[in-house]
Structure 1
């Protein structure tokens, strides 16, 4: 494929993700100096430089250990030798040097974006002290013909079981993002698809952080507490109270006590879900995965408004942000024909040495991606 079709023109892998991360890191340093606020590790309990390598190594183990055990067969005479031989074969197949480089490059760019994003988000109230919740609430009521969107959803779904259900949706979303990153970097062998997705998420964070500084908000759950007073106690209500305590402490100590994580415009819950939906659509994953992704997107929209995390206008902005990130990341990673983004298959990989005849279960070759399911493992 020539450079015009490819669109990369020799750009290194994850180039735009690194640009986004370095840009956020520069903002972090700038705001830290201007506001005299220390830069913090966003994961104070277990440092990120320990936690994320552990996550990657754990994901690698999940990827290879079942394959090794299956290929080695049942324990018995000579099983130890078979296990060692099979382990070497599977590791050569699944983790050649090129994929180590791809995964480590991607996770490093991703973590830089994540850590810098958390710091920029935390310092936003110091950089821009005005809060725009009242203006966004007015826009919401205009869009809903004078009605409050959250109150409307409470009337439709009630304030009992629905609150617990939407709280569960929020919990699933929290787990979905790191799992999806692990799939894109560790388990997939179609690196163009993985690079596209990770780069798009990095852009989501970078654009979201800029909006948090440009238009600070706290969200309806904090600026209009009365609307949510009838909701029962859930994981989300406890989390919201904890986040508010963190914000009060951070503002009171001028950033010395930790990081605050409250910012509403735009909704990155919705933005990242839009990114997930558009990427799984573009790379033509199985139909049930695409339907599941769009269904969860709809539930995420309902949950963020119902629970008061975001205004409806935050949802609109988040969806636009997520779609924009997918397009720009597609262009930047070479997943385009002209200016239309679409998955460009990985080059055909060279075959590795075949497994020995006595180990037929071991994987023998690395094949090119199939056009119909280019991101399937």
Structure 2
């Protein structure tokens, strides 16, 4: 009688499955309670239910074709693809990848809908003034955005930071798809998918705990000198969506303005931490850390967030990676226990380690 529950708890996607189920049900409840239909937010490459499978299939094709050419040559590339799929892509592996993407998708869509209900559930209870005063205190009586505008200028820097900020939109689903498809250790894919899904859930909790608009929406005049760019266009799109949602919550518009905490920072920090602890190639890890630095800078420069928002994002990202590692068996202690069991069974044990109770460094199997 206890075999199925025990087997389920050992499943690396058990937590992500339960998390997506709970947050999905909560979203459905509030949708019915507020009489606001569920919406599938559109973005890069269209709706998420189209975007994620497309990204997964694209990454699969990009990954498998070079392998086939390398192993079998150009002439036999097509037959080589079939051989690789037959030998390396079992139904078990496909189901793990699909579970990771579905869990991520449900948590993301739930996050966007719950975020959209903010004005209906919190009204005009905003805390921008307090966070703005905190910004001034931390910058010795100055506004961070004004200081950055004076220091970096408002021409080239604005365009570069805007591109890097908006790049986040495709980076998130692409990295989730890449880890799930390319990494052969199912627990590592589950770790990252769970951590990113946790970002959405913890982000919604932070939005309702401390509702804010963000500097560019609270004090738009402070950012009026910035040239038109991808970030300002996105801000205008969010404003149009907000106005449309408030006029007709039952319509097709979705409300997407919230400051605390910064999910841009939390998700990018999650990515950088995960790549670091998972032992991914050094160049990729360094790129992620550099991108995190530019993301934090862009949130302040472009007026998306207050300093407290970014700090909150760092906390969420760190907690998400740690919980993700714990529930998927990727802390050092858990991996060491599995290694000992594998050694007793005669299997080779992994050699990479990490601090106790910290996410363990892992390597891709050959």
Range of TM-score over shorter length: 0.7 to 0.9
How far is 1:215 from its partner? 1.9
Instruction: Tell me which of 295, 301, 308 is aligned to 1:313.
Output: 308
Q: TM-score, normalised by structure 1?
A: 0.84
2:26 is equivalent to residue 31 of structure 1 = no
Alignment check: 8 A CA contact 1:193 1:343 kept: no
1:343 and 1:84, CA in 2 relative to 1: closer, same or farther beyond 3 A? Answer: farther
Alignment check: 8 A CA contact 1:141 1:148 kept: yes
* Match of residue 172 from structure 1: 167
Gaps of 5+ in 2: 1-5, 343-347, 353-360
How far is 1:169 from its partner? 0.8
Q: How does 1:1-377 map to 2 (within 5 A)?
A: 10-43=9-42, 46-75=46-75, 82-83=76-77, 85-129=79-123, 130-338=125-333, 371=352, 374-375=363-364
* Match of residue 364 from structure 1: none
Alignment check: 8 A CA contact 1:193 1:375 kept: no
Structure 2 counterpart SS, 1:273: helix
- Name the Cα RMSD after superposition: 2.7
1:48 and 1:179, CA in 2 relative to 1: closer, same or farther beyond 3 A? Answer: closer
> 2:328 & 2:162 partners in 1: Cα distance?
35
> 1:19 & 1:218 partners in 2: Cα distance?
31
Alignment check: 8 A CA contact 1:330 1:342 kept: no
How far is 1:138 from its partner? 1.3
> 2:338 & 2:290 partners in 1: Cα distance?
27
Structure 2 counterpart SS, 1:284: coil
Residues 41-98 of structure 1: CA distance to partner in whole angstroms, max 9, x if unpaired? 22399444333323322222222223224433243xxxxxx45542332113331222
Size of the alignment, in residue pairs? Answer: 346
Residues 289-340 of structure 1: CA distance to partner in whole angstroms, max 9, x if unpaired? 222211111110000110011111100000011001111111111112449x
> 2:109 & 2:336 partners in 1: Cα distance?
30
How far is 1:236 from its partner? 1.0
How far is 1:269 from its partner? 0.5
Alignment check: 8 A CA contact 1:204 1:272 kept: yes
How far is 1:206 from its partner? 0.4
Structure 1 counterpart SS, 2:92: helix
Alignment check: 8 A CA contact 1:204 1:268 kept: yes
How far is 1:11 from its partner? 2.7
> 2:122 & 2:205 partners in 1: Cα distance?
11
> 2:231 & 2:178 partners in 1: Cα distance?
27
> 2:309 & 2:364 partners in 1: Cα distance?
31
1:48 and 1:286, CA in 2 relative to 1: closer, same or farther beyond 3 A? Answer: closer
Alignment check: 8 A CA contact 1:286 1:373 kept: no
Larger relative contact order (Cα-Cα within 8 Å, sequence gap ≥ 6): 1
Residues 231-287 of structure 1: CA distance to partner in whole angstroms, max 9, x if unpaired? 111111111111101110011102423212111110011001111111111112222
Structure 1 counterpart SS, 2:142: coil
How far is 1:161 from its partner? 0.7
1:73 and 1:238, CA in 2 relative to 1: closer, same or farther beyond 3 A? Answer: same
